[in-house]
């Protein structure tokens, strides 16, 4: 996201966040209870994780967890993995110490 768009995004999201109708997954005490792992391993979770890589070498590569997620016109769905059974390709894109790459 461009730096000058953060304020605009916050203004759009503020009423949604304050409405009380939605909440983000929270971290538990243990590593396997991280918000990321809860998203990855709970098939009934209403929250989605959508990641877009903005590197110049990739043409807006994106990942969606779970796999079915909205694909906007300006985002090409190059790579999408089901987070409930992550593939080695998905896990390899994270560093050794990154919790997102741990297959718990």
Mean pLDDT of 87-103: 71
Q: Residue range 5-29: average pLDDT? A: 81
CB-based burial, 62-98: b 16+ in 10 Å, e otherwise: bbbbbeeeeeeeeeeeebbbebeebeeebeeeeeeee
pTM here?
Answer: 0.35
Encode pLDDT of 31-68 as tens digits.
Answer: 888 887 877 777 666 666 655 555 556 555 555 555 44
């Amino acid at each position: 996201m461009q730096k000058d768009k953060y304020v605009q995004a916050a203004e759009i999201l503020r009423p949604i966040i304050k409405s009380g109708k939605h909440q983000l997954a929270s971290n538990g005490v243990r590593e396997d209870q991280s918000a990321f792992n809860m998203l990855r391993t709970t098939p009934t979770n209403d929250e989605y994780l959508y990641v877009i890589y903005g590197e110049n070498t990739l043409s807006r590569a994106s990942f969606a967890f779970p796999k079915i997620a909205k694909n906007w016109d300006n985002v090409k769905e190059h790579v999408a993995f089901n987070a409930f059974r992550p593939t080695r390709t998905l896990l390899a894109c994270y560093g050794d110490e990154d919790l997102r790459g741990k297959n718990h």
